[in-house]
């Protein structure tokens, strides 16, 4: 069928272009952002991308909601940092560049160890057991200070062993490129895995485990293998974080980190392969950048997550895909004015809300020293009434306008849907 052959060829061209562009972007980013902070941010984003993608091998592709994925990344990180110390002592002859592989193998090993039990059932049973294993490993981190390093964690120096090709991992940009290369390879590998027999059967088991058993598949084995592979990539992410921070503490295996990767993956969108990449970027931006700006960052992250769950359960990726389908049909122009109006109103409401939150935080935490809060280029005296009234007015007016603007967006979308439907038929 010539049309189909053409279709698949152009798809391949498109996907090669996409991968090439992503690779080029990753290489060029340090040239655009020269400050050390940007490099730190980008490095952590890369690590989180691998971690979130590996999480989505469970949630999005295998239908397994895990509350303990940090077990595999964290233990991978610990094994990697112990290996790094052995390299430093000259006991282990391994280039630091390959250290993430140690993390990955350790992650996979624990995947084998814990996975057979956790993957026996899917659904709530899996979620509960994963939570239990997370708690168990977190408890072990306190009981085995020799391995986990107790309160202080395990530290190491990444400038260990003889430099390979002149790479010492002294400069941060070398670490960035190490993370970039591993992120690219791991992403490509995880994408390839979705297109193998196991990857596809994992989707089938996610959709309908019972039916999968009646076409010859042991769903327990499918889930188990999927979890072991996901644990490998989680361990790679852990190994990279060991190199990046040169320290691993008990937090690395903790419930917070397990919850974080769930948040990141869900925000990005579990239904698309690239969703967790977006989620990891947004999540890391909150954790690294917004946390540097405000103490209320966790509140903002939580509210953002709730908003996503309520209004865009498919995540950022589904919103993108939706608009992309409109753009392909040349209908994005119809949406743009409504989008612009709702964005303006939404930003105003957000500014009012942020002002209120920041003033509350300032009043409770800082006002004793200095009642003046500097925000959006304004100086606000949190002891006076005017800033509070002003912020509340901005919030209420912005919300009302947003509500009106959003109705227009919906109306426009209904039109677009009809047009798309006509084309599809």
Partner 1 sequence: MTHAIELRKVAKRFGRTEVIAGVDLAIARGERHAIIGPNGAGKSTLFNLISGRFPVTDGTILLNGEDVTGLRPFRINRKGLARSFQVTNIFPNLSVFENIRCALLWALGYRYTFWRALSAAADARERAEGVIDAIGLARRRDTPAGTLSYAEQRALEIGITIAGGAEVILLDEPTAGMNRSEAAAAVALIRKVTEGKTLVMVEHDMGVVFDLADRISVLVYGRVIATDRPEAIRADARVQEAYLGTAHA
Q: Least distance in Å: CB of 206 to partner 1?
A: 8
Q: Least distance in Å: CB of 201 to partner 1?
A: 6
Of the residues 39, 52, 106, 225, which one makes contact with partner 1 according to CB under 8 A? 225
Long-range CB pairs of 140-144, under 8 A, 24+ apart, other chains included: 141/250, 141/253, 141/254, 142/250
- Please, what sign has the CA dihedral across residues 61, 62, 65, 70? negative
User: Using CA atoms, how far apart are residues 274 and 56, in angstroms rounded to an integer?
Assistant: 10
Facing residues of 167 across strands?
164
Q: Least distance in Å: CB of 233 to partner 1?
A: 13
8/159 with CB nearer partner 1 = 8
DSSP H or E segment with residue 379: strand 378-381
3-state secondary structure of 296: coil
Q: Least distance in Å: CB of 199 to partner 1?
A: 7
The reply on whether position 218 binds partner 1 by CB under 8 A is yes
The reply on whether position 197 binds partner 1 by CB under 8 A is yes
What are residue 380's phi and psi, to 5 degrees? -115, 125
Residues contacting partner 1: total by CB under 8 A: 27
The reply on whether position 317 binds partner 1 by CB under 8 A is no
What are residue 356's phi and psi, to 5 degrees? -60, -50
> 98 with 259: CB under 8 angstroms?
no
User: Using CA atoms, how far apart are residues 79 and 93, in angstroms rounded to an integer?
Assistant: 15
**Which tokens go with 413?**
């979308």
Residues 198-217 that bind partner 1 (CB under 8 A): 198-201, 203-204, 206-208, 210-217
Report the 10 Å Cβ neighbour count for 157: 11
Per-residue interface string for the shown chain with partner 1, residues 4-43, x marking contact by CB under 8 A: ----------------------------------------
Of the residues 106, 222, 320, 395, which one makes contact with partner 1 according to CB under 8 A? 222
Q: What is the dihedral of CA 384, 390, 392, 397, to 10 degrees?
A: 170
Choose one: 178-186, 188-196, 250-258, 296-304; the region binding partner 1 (CB under 8 A).
Answer: 188-196
31/425 with CB nearer partner 1 = 425
Q: Least distance in Å: CB of 424 to partner 1?
A: 10
Of the residues 39, 70, 229, 262, which one makes contact with partner 1 according to CB under 8 A? 229
Choose one: 72-80, 191-199, 273-281, 335-343; the region binding partner 1 (CB under 8 A).
Answer: 191-199
Q: Least distance in Å: CB of 67 to partner 1?
A: 23
> 271 with 230: CB under 8 angstroms?
no
User: Using CA atoms, how far apart are residues 52 and 274, in angstroms rounded to an integer?
Assistant: 10
What are residue 161's phi and psi, to 5 degrees? 75, 170
Residue whose token pair is 């895995």: 193
Q: Least distance in Å: CB of 219 to partner 1?
A: 8
Choose one: 167-175, 218-226, 343-351, 402-410; the region binding partner 1 (CB under 8 A).
Answer: 218-226
The reply on whether position 195 binds partner 1 by CB under 8 A is yes
Q: Least distance in Å: CB of 210 to partner 1?
A: 7
Report the interface residues with partner 1, using CB under 8 A. Answer: 192-193, 195-201, 203-204, 206-208, 210-218, 221-222, 225, 229
């Amino acid at each position: 069928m010539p049309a189909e052959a053409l279709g698949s060829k152009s798809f391949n061209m498109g996907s090669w272009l996409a991968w090439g562009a992503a690779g080029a972007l990753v290489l060029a980013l340090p040239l655009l952002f020269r400050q050390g902070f940007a490099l730190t941010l980008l490095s952590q984003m890369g690590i989180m991308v691998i971690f979130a993608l590996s999480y989505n091998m469970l949630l999005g592709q295998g239908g397994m909601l895990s509350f303990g994925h940090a077990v595999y990344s964290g233990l991978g990180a610990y094994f990697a940092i112990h290996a790094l110390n052995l390299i430093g002592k000259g006991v282990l002859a391994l280039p630091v560049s390959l250290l993430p592989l140690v993390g990955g193998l350790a992650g996979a090993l624990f995947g084998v160890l814990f996975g057979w039990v956790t993957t026996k059932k899917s659904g709530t049973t899996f979620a509960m057991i994963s939570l239990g294993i997370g708690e168990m490993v977190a408890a072990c981190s306190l009981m085995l200070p020799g391995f986990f390093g107790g309160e202080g964690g395990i530290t190491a120096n990444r400038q260990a062993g003889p430099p390979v090709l002149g790479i010492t991992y002294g400069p941060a940009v070398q670490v960035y490129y190490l993370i970039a290369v591993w992120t690219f390879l791991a992403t490509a590998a995880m994408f390839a895995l979705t297109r193998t027999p196991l990857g596809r059967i994992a989707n089938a088991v996610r959709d309908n485990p019972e039916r999968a058993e009646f076409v010859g598949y042991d769903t327990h084995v499918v889930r188990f293998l999927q979890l072991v592979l996901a644990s490998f990539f989680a361990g790679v992410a852990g190994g990279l974080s060991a190199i990046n921070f040169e320290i691993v503490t008990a937090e690395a295996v903790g419930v917070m980190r397990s919850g974080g990767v769930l948040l990141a993956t869900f925000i990005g969108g579990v239904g698309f392969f690239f969703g967790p990449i977006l989620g990891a970027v947004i999540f890391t931006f909150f954790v690294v950048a917004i946390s540097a700006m405000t103490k209320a960052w966790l509140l903002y992250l939580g509210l953002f997550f709730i908003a996503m769950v309520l209004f865009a359960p498919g995540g950022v990726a589904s919103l993108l895909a939706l608009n992309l389908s409109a753009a392909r049909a040349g209908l994005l122009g119809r949406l743009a004015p409504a989008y612009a109006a709702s964005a303006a109103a939404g930003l105003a409401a957000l500014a009012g809300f942020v002002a209120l939150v920041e003033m509350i935080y300032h009043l409770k935490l800082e006002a004793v020293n200095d009642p003046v809060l500097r925000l959006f280029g304004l100086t606000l005296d949190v002891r006076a009434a005017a800033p509070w009234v002003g912020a509340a007015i901005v919030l209420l007016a912005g919300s009302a306008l947003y509500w009106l603007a959003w109705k227009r967006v919906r109306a426009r979308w209904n039109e677009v849907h009809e047009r798309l439907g006509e084309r599809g038929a």
